[in-house]
Chains A and B, each alone.
Chain A
Amino acid sequence: MSDSKLEIIVGEGTCGRASGSTEIMGLFKKNAPDATIRTVGCVGMCHAEVMVEVIDGDGNSHMYGNVDKKGVTKILKFHRGEDEKPEDMLLSATDDPELEGGQYLTKQTRLALRNVGTIDPTDMEQYKARGGYSAIEKIIQTGMTPEDVIEQVKISGIRGRGGAGFPTATKWTFARGAEGDKKYLICNGDEGDPGAFMDRSLLEGDPHNILEGMLIAAYAIGASGGYAYIRAEYPLAVKNFDMAIQDATAAGYLGDNILGSNFCFDLKIKQGAGAFVCGEETALIASVEGERGMPRIRPPFPAIKGLFGKPTIINNVETLSNLPWIIDNGGAAYQAIGTEDSRGTKVFALAGTIKRGGLVEIPMGMTLHEMLYDIGGGSSTDKPLKAVQLGGPSGGCVPASLFDTKIEYASINATGAIMGSGGIVVMDEKSCMVDLAKFFLDFTQIESCGKCTFCRIGTLRMKEILTKICDGEGTMEDIDTLEELAEGVKQASLCGLGQTAPNPVLTTLKYFREEYEAHVKEQRCPAGVCKGLISHTIINEGCNGCSICERYCPVDCITGEKKKGETWVIDQDVCINCGMCVEVCNSDCILVE
């Protein structure tokens, strides 16, 4: 078959680029100059980057994963009819629905992600060809009032996807009714939760959709000014969104008298500078105003008195990305998806020890088990899954015994975790839950802005106790103090950061108390993670004396004679238990206990 009939699509999100998509793209352009070659955002199968989709002249689609230089040649040869199907790279194909990759996508319900991985995010026409900007056109051309828009969103039942889950329509109603000559709409893209990348993929992969969502929200509340607050760590998201603003302005969707109406909306990007607390609404406002990002006491709520003292609504990226779909299809269609408690879909970022990690969007009400195993493919290691951490530093862990929990706000809250913004870190038995709690406390303690005492000092004391326990110096009394402090910080902190910071500690204590006790009573880290409680020794029977561990040891504490396995030893007084030797050992002969 001639190349000219082939359409070759390369995933070029941040994950794709990190895996070498730019080089693969270049190879296709060089070796198949006659084919139509397009770039798209991340389809979400980050575990299989670089991803390439080939659509042949008959409209059949083949999706390939883990494509390297040789893969390019193999793929081209197959589609030219010169070679066999490269089965090892094939993830899904329209003529073979049984393939794993196909399952990964068919089990999802992609509304927010409907265009991500399908269109070139830098080409507005492709967004429009998929029904883009029809929602704002519908609003203006059919004369929907702001109240009509709010009503549809109310019917949809969508709740804020940033974590707290406050009903979007209710929030808007406050700002709609607030007095003010100017109102603001802010898109919260300050995805600070370590372990989450939903907003990044949405902003990178379908920026016009977020922009249209902002237009809808701004129209509903009567805002004429807008900011997209995006993390500086997401340069590609900033670049793609900036281009979307320029193209939308040129096409008359943004600026003064949008589509010939009285609706005016001016939109700017504000880059975050790295502060987790800026995900909190009042801190984010302080940051846009140029101040240190410290939360302010509420009331007054931002909907009444927010940015520069004006009524302000802050909506999360994912919330906004659902709005065009809701207006196009009606609130009732969205409401029909999900459960009584939680309507619609939720995007999750699956990471950790999971086989098919990436971005997934599921209907609310699916169980954790279905998402982790049917979509995610289960554990990526030979160890079974132990727990998942939902909602990052503000969330909690859910043990494997509760994987039948439905993904909806109430059911997840009942476990002690939170829905959060959608970051899910999956852990197998090699993860230490005390170490995890310490990791999060380390994070929140550093990120605490320092305004209120419970958060500033409380998280520090908690971190100190956790460090003590991880070093094997903890007492049983420490565990009680930790619990007491956790309750105090939760109740007395000013903003969400402090109020939720103890969640990882409280949930790990609830479900994995025996691990804490093993650290204290037995001086043992069951997962073999905590450096103060483990030691590395060489099993001489298995050692072949290759000396690779010696070369990689950062503290030069491994000695022995080359090719004489029986002579190799680790000096325990010098060893820092970093684990480099375990990683590089070819014969698996370093014992960690």
Chain B
Amino acid sequence: MSNQTLEATVDPELVNKWIEEIGSGVPAAVPLLQAIQGEYGYLPRDAMDLIIANSDINASQLFGVATFYAQFRMRPVGRHLVKVCHGTACHVRGADRLNTSLNHILNITDEEEDTASNGSYTVEDVACVGCCSIAPALVIDDDIIGNLSGADAQRVLKKHAKGCKEDLPGDTSKKKKAAQENSNEEARS
């Protein structure tokens, strides 16, 4: 499945309401982008165009700001977002392994890609969530979870996926089980 299906449909009224509430001058650029990303999970081009058309912020200023700050994302995001903390404490305690193991269970193999092919989860690196004493840590949607091994990260994701009925494309235990059942059935028939 391509990630195009994750592209958001922008509600112009909502964007215009933000411009009205937050402001239409340059100092409003960051908060406006934060509002958009808060709603859609990323910065859809349509929303950016609306701001450029309906505020005093021009395209170069808006894109300049959007591409400068690490928080902003220009690509569509999965239905759920996993942020893996890569602060110093998390790094020395094996944060890389959390990425390896999450990418494995989500079957994300392309280095350029960060979203599972079924659009379920996006795995993003973040600089530091400030929970260094419980390193390594990750954030799923809004929940911070710490003291994780690579295997724990998979367990946490499986639990989360079960709770919101998402499939994990790289979850071989399920596949193997299914394959086992299939072969059993074949044997029976």
Q: In the complex, are the beta carbons of A292 and B88 less than 8 A apart? A: no
Q: A231-B130, A292-B68 given; name 4 further pairs at CB < 8 Å.
A: A292-B64, A583-B97, A583-B150, A584-B149
Query: Given A194-B86, A194-B88, A436-B92, does the pair A580, B65 have CB atoms closer than 8 Å?
Result: no
Minimum distance in angstroms from A423 CB to a CB of chain B? 7
B145 at the interface (CB under 8 A from A): yes
Complex interface: chain A residues within 8 A of B57 (CB): 290
The 5 closest A-B pairs by CB, nearest first: A46-B133, A351-B132, A195-B88, A274-B70, A194-B87
B binding-site residues for A, Cβ under 8 Å? 25-31, 33-34, 57, 61, 64-65, 68-72, 86-94, 96-97, 100-101, 103-104, 126-135, 137, 142-147, 149-151, 154, 172-173
Whether A580 pairs with B71 at a CB distance below 8 angstroms is no
* Total of A-B residue pairs, C-beta within 8 Å: 173
Q: When the two chains form their complex, are residues B34 and A288 in contact, meaning their CB atoms are under 8 A apart?
A: no
B33 & A580 in contact (Cβ 8 Å cutoff): no
**Known contacts being A273-B33, A275-B69, is A200 close to B130, with CB within 8 Å?**
yes
Which residues 505-555 of A sit at the B interface, judged by CB distance below 8 A? 551-552, 554
Interface string of A427-443 (1 = CB under 8 A from B): 10001000010011001
In the docked arrangement, what's the CA distance between A584 and B91, Å? 19
A573 within 8 A of B: no
Q: Is the CB of B34 within 8 A of A273?
A: yes
**21 chain-A/chain-B pairs, Cβ below 8 angstroms:** A14-B129, A15-B146, A18-B143, A46-B132, A46-B133, A47-B133, A194-B90, A197-B133, A271-B34, A290-B26, A290-B29, A290-B57, A291-B61, A392-B88, A425-B132, A447-B127, A551-B172, A552-B150, A554-B103, A578-B97, A584-B150
Interface contact B93-A352, CB-CB below 8 Å: yes
| A19 touching B132, Cβ below 8 Å | no
Partner of A18, one of B25, B33, B88, B131: B131
CB-CB nearest in chain A for B62:
A290
In the complex, which residue of chain A has the Cβ closest to the Cβ of B172?
A: A551
Q: In this complex, what residue of B is CB-closest to A449?
A: B68
Pick the most buried of B72, B90, B127, B172: most chain A CB atoms within 10 A of its CB. Answer: B127
- Cβ-based interface call for A234 (8 A): yes
Residues in B with CB closer than 8 Å to A197 are 130-133
Among the interface residues B127, B129, B132, which one has the most CB atoms of the partner chain A within 10 A?
B132
Nearest-neighbor residue (CB-CB) of A271 within chain B: B34
Q: Which residues of A contact B137 (CB under 8 A)?
A: 18
The CA of A336 and the CA of B137, in the complex, are separated in Å by 40
A290→B25 contact, CB < 8 A? yes
Cβ 8 A contact of B173, one of A14, A440, A551: A551
Residues of A contacting B133 in the complex (Cβ-Cβ under 8 angstroms): 15, 46-47, 197, 349-351, 357-358
Enumerate chain A residues within 8 angstroms of B34, measured Cβ to Cβ: 232, 271, 273
**Interface presence of A309 (CB below 8 A):** no
| Closest partner residue, chain A, to B67 (CB atom) | A292
Interface pair B149/A351, CB less than 8 Å apart: no
B26, B64, B92 interface centre (most CB from chain A within 10 Å): B92
Asked whether, in the complex, the Cβ of B70 is within 8 Å of the Cβ of A273, the reply is yes
- Measured between alpha carbons, how far is A349 from B130 in the docked complex, in Å? 10
Q: Output the nearest chain B residue to A235 by Cβ-Cβ distance.
A: B142
Tell me the smallest distance from the CB of B56 to a CB of chain A, in Å.
10
In the complex, per-residue mask of A550-580: 1 if CB is within 8 Å of any chain B CB, else 0: 0110100000000000000000000010111
Q: Is A287 an interface residue (CB 8 A)?
A: yes
A425, closest chain B residue (CB): B88
CB proximity to B under 8 Å, residues A44-64: 46-47, 49
Question: CB < 8 Å: which of A233, A276, A291 contacts B65?
Answer: A291
Are the CB atoms of B97 and A233 closer together than 8 Å? Answer: no
B90: chain A residues at CB < 8 Å are 194
Whether A353 sits at the interface, judged by CB under 8 Å, is yes
Residue of A nearest to B70 (CB): A274
Instruction: Flag if B68 contacts A18 (CB, 8 Å).
Output: no
Let me know if A273 and B127 touch, CB within 8 A.
no
Q: Which residue of A lies closest to B132 (CB)?
A: A351
A279 to chain B, nearest CB (A): 12
Contact A290 B132 (CB under 8 A): no
Asked if residues B30 and A273 are in contact (CB atoms below 8 Å), the reply is: yes
Task: Known contacts A351-B135, A439-B91, A551-B173; decide if A195 and B104 are in contact (CB<8 Å).
Answer: no
Within 8 A of B (CB), among A274-316: 274-276, 287-293
Q: Which residues of A contact B147 (CB under 8 A)?
A: 19
Write the nearest CB–CB distance from A466 to chain B, whole angstroms: 14
User: Are A18 and B69 in contact, with the CB atoms below 8 A?
Assistant: no
Closest to A46 in B: B133
Whether, in the assembled complex, A191 has its beta carbon less than 8 Å from a beta carbon of chain B, the answer is yes
- Chain A residues contacting B86 (CB-CB under 8 Å) are 194
- Residue from B27, B100, B101 in contact with A288 in the complex, judged by beta carbons closer than 8 Å: B27
CB closest residue in chain A, given B152: A583
Question: Are B100 and A578 in contact, with the CB atoms below 8 A?
Answer: yes
**Interface residue? A192 (CB, 8 A):** yes
Task: Give chain B residues whose Cβ lies under 8 Å from the Cβ of A232.
Answer: 34, 71
Contact call B87/A554, Cβ cutoff below 8 A? no
Is A193's beta carbon under 8 Å from chain B?
yes
CA distance A14 to B127 in the complex (A): 16
Residue A77 CB within 8 A of the other chain: no
